[in-house]
Structure 1
């Protein structure tokens, strides 16, 4: 169905946001949504309402008005009526609630930010345009306070926008203009943040009730419209948006290893994230030497990841793994690969462990394989995941499947060593697999919280 202005049912109107539109307010925009135009300003007042005074917190208050000539029929000014009309009062309360939902008032200090939204031309969706524009204005105002050293950090925790969805002639329509609004059977306004959470839902059956299926379609369109609006906000705000939700990362990383098995394992793990894992050779660092002098698996993993992140400017992944034996005070730990000496073989390492455990009964030979994976991002953010599998050290070597200490480690719940178990069972128990699974979940969350 083509609409009055030629749009598809799920298409928002053309959006234009002009920052720094007025001179004196710390944040100001002109937002144009189709033919609707609203001036939104954020003005910082170094005082707070009486009910906030002495708490150390700030406040945000909003006022909304429509110029007399904003509509085809002149609207009488509220000042001539002696009070704000009911519709304007409801809208300005909505704007205030919406903006406060994404600002940590305790970080604002005892100051008030006044949001003023003045409609200079109305063609439907003035309240949603006001909320979307007000977010940009207050983001600019707060960023100014941070730059001037008046507050320590950006007190916003997410992006935020609003869009209308209506049902007209039985059709669900996104971002309705006035002609559609005036004929709507159902009218809704949906305020959301970039995490996909709802801040406010306003829905009214103007001409009739609406069904659950219709409501699901309304929500689907509202999510789509708000994502598009927040992408526009992000592009407009640039570094200000980055200070709120962080910079958007490229979907690629470099793994700090020359081990092709590890490379394939990680590539397979993150394949469904549309994430490209590059080797050191891919980025011209295949000959790099990284000194792993950390005291823990975690420290060594970070040493690798931080080095590669600095060298490439990309997301970097580093890992370290080994075995801890409780009867040996958790040795060999980070020295697992060189337990019997710097260039020791697997056989020499195992022989040394058996010698040191001589006389220790099986019940006291508890141990675990541990893997730590560190991820370091270009902006300095860091992430750590850890996987382990508990077990015991056998009294003798058994099995030829695997390498390192596999033939002497009996995982918890089994009677056979890793060297005797099939690759399928071993991989299902793997400390590396568990650590990779945790890494994947954390990486997914970090990527998605910065995307819109």
Structure 2
């Protein structure tokens, strides 16, 4: 059994990833997928400016160098169609700078409130190894904040085909349709095939 370190300091993200990957969590926060045990470590990694793919590859290579072994990293984007997919990989900084209402207000004068939630996982076997990317996309719209506001921008993103925001959806439903689920589904297939 090989160990892969999922690098995140976000407790909500960790819970969601473990729930989606294996449907359960051990006392130590580990998850088993195929011949792999996924463990967690929080690292403060530099975030390169660029596309989500470039950001994810850079994070995965950096984490593999620091930890000296197999790593898994994730980067999430929220792209507004009216803004040619910005804020994109900079969504975390937009939320910190202008808040959720500020994001909603940015689209005030635009009729098109559509958006894409994009999640990209990067897996790297170790220092100097190539990075495998696994990406998932969920289309939706930006709406006034509804539901809990404790997980990023979930309360302002309403996925297509639903009348609730990510924040309002039951976790089981969200975890079966989200951008993160779609990326992790591809990652799980990869890990099981190894």
Shorter-chain TM-score category? 0.7 to 0.9
Deviation at 1:352, TM superposition (A): 2.1
Kindly report the root-mean-square deviation, in angstroms, between the aligned alpha carbons of the 2 structures.
Answer: 2.2
- Structure 2 length as normaliser, TM-score? 0.82
Deviation at 1:388, TM superposition (A): 1.3
The higher-RCO structure (CA 8 Å, 6+ apart) is: 2
CA distance in 2, matches of 1:290, 1:272: 25
The aligned length equals: 183
Q: What CA deviation, in whole Å up to 9, does each residue of 1:188-215 have, x standing for no partner? A: xxxxxxxxxxxxxxxxxxxxxxxxxxxx
Deviation at 1:373, TM superposition (A): 0.3
The answer to whether the aligner puts 1:385 opposite 2:131 as a matched pair is no
Aligned with residue 358 of structure 1, among 100, 108, 126: 108
CA distance in 1, matches of 2:94, 2:149: 21
Partner SS, residue 109 of structure 2? coil
CA distance in 2, matches of 1:434, 1:306: 23
Partner SS, residue 90 of structure 2? helix
Deviation at 1:356, TM superposition (A): 1.8
Aligned to 1:240: none
Aligned with residue 275 of structure 1, among 24, 31, 36: 36
Q: What CA deviation, in whole Å up to 9, does each residue of 1:180-236 have, x standing for no partner? A: xxxxxxxxxxxxxxxxxxxxxxxxxxxxxxxxxxxxxxxxxxxxxxxxxxxxxxxxx
The answer to whether the aligner puts 1:374 opposite 2:122 as a matched pair is yes
- Is the CA contact (8 Å cut-off) linking 2:77 and 2:119 kept in structure 1? yes
Deviation at 1:309, TM superposition (A): 1.2
- Is the CA contact (8 Å cut-off) linking 1:325 and 1:331 kept in structure 2? yes
CA distance in 2, matches of 1:339, 1:295: 15
Deviation at 1:418, TM superposition (A): 2.0
Call closer, same or farther: CA 1:276–1:406 in 2, change over 3 Å: same
Aligned to 1:422: 170
Aligned to 1:80: none
The answer to whether the aligner puts 1:251 opposite 2:12 as a matched pair is no
Deviation at 1:402, TM superposition (A): 5.6
- Structure 1 length as normaliser, TM-score? 0.38
Aligned to 2:99: 349
Deviation at 1:320, TM superposition (A): 0.4
Unaligned runs of 5+ in 2: 23-31
Call closer, same or farther: CA 1:253–1:389 in 2, change over 3 Å: same
CA distance in 2, matches of 1:275, 1:443: 7
Unaligned runs of 5+ in 1: 1-249, 281-285, 448-452
CA distance in 1, matches of 2:103, 2:123: 32
CA distance in 2, matches of 1:275, 1:373: 16
Partner SS, residue 89 of structure 2? helix
- Is the CA contact (8 Å cut-off) linking 2:121 and 2:183 kept in structure 1? yes
Partner SS, residue 373 of structure 1? strand
Q: What CA deviation, in whole Å up to 9, does each residue of 1:297-339 have, x standing for no partner? A: 2222222211121123311111100211010221111111111
- Is the CA contact (8 Å cut-off) linking 2:35 and 2:191 kept in structure 1? no
CA distance in 2, matches of 1:262, 1:350: 18
- Is the CA contact (8 Å cut-off) linking 2:119 and 2:137 kept in structure 1? yes
**Equivalence map 1:38-437=2 (5 Å):** 251-267=2-18, 269=21, 271-280=32-41, 286=42, 288-339=43-94, 343-344=96-97, 348-361=98-111, 364-378=112-126, 380-394=129-143, 396-400=144-148, 403-437=151-185
